[in-house]
Structure 1
Amino acid sequence: MPNTKRSFIVGDRYDAFIAQQIEEGRFNNASEVVRAGLRMLEDYETRLAEARALVDAADAEIAAGKGIEYATPKSLTEDIIKRGMVRLAQKD
């Protein structure tokens, strides 16, 4: 993929932030700072899409009657702890 040059106006706030990152030695230039920010945004968007897919799948299970009903918040908490302990034991 060829290097494409683009120009952006980031405003004083972000310009100062970019300069600070370079001054602190975290990055060598503004392009590195921007690329790091874009990688973080891409990761965030990927995780958000995954979370939304999990919510959609859970909603579909509930609509299909596959949900678990709990009589009290305490019983929900106890089940979560129990399931967590089982998962931890399986990792050993």
Structure 2
Amino acid sequence: MANVKKSYVVGDRYEAFIAEKVASGRFNNASEVVRAGLRMLEDYETRLVETRALVDIADAEIAAGEGIEYAGGQDITDEIVKRGMVRLSQKD
């Protein structure tokens, strides 16, 4: 796709942010800052869709009685530590 120049108004706050990032030397120009931001937004939205799908799966498992019931936070912590120790012992 050809580079088509477009113009967007982002407001004073974001103009200052973009200028700050360019001035820091991390980015060569405003377009690089905007592209980095768009990549981050795209990644965030992808992870959000994936997380929602995992929540849907978990909800279905719980509805099917496949969930694990814990009495409190310490029980969950103990289970996580126990599973972690098992995984670590399997790496040897």
Normalising by structure 2, report the TM-score.
Answer: 0.87
Give the AA of the match of 2:66.
Answer: K
2: CA distance between counterparts of 1:71 and 1:21? 48
**Which ranges in structure 2 are unaligned for 5 or more consecutive residues?**
none
Is residue 40 from structure 1 mapped to residue 4 from structure 2 by the alignment? no
2: CA distance between counterparts of 1:57 and 1:70? 19
Aligned length in residues:
92
Cα pair distance change 1:73/1:13, threshold 3 Å: closer
Is residue 81 from structure 1 mapped to residue 81 from structure 2 by the alignment? yes
Backbone CA RMSD of aligned residues: 1.5
1: CA distance between counterparts of 2:20 and 2:53? 37
Q: Which runs of 4+ in 1 moved over 6 A?
A: none
Structure 1 residue 12 displacement after superposition = 0.7
SS of residue in 2 equivalent to 1:70: coil
2: CA distance between counterparts of 1:23 and 1:56? 44
1: CA distance between counterparts of 2:89 and 2:7? 53
Structure 1 residue 43 displacement after superposition = 0.8
Q: Which residue in 2 is equivalent to 1:20?
A: 20
1: CA distance between counterparts of 2:23 and 2:82? 50
Normalising by structure 1, report the TM-score.
Answer: 0.87
Structure 1 residue 54 displacement after superposition = 1.0
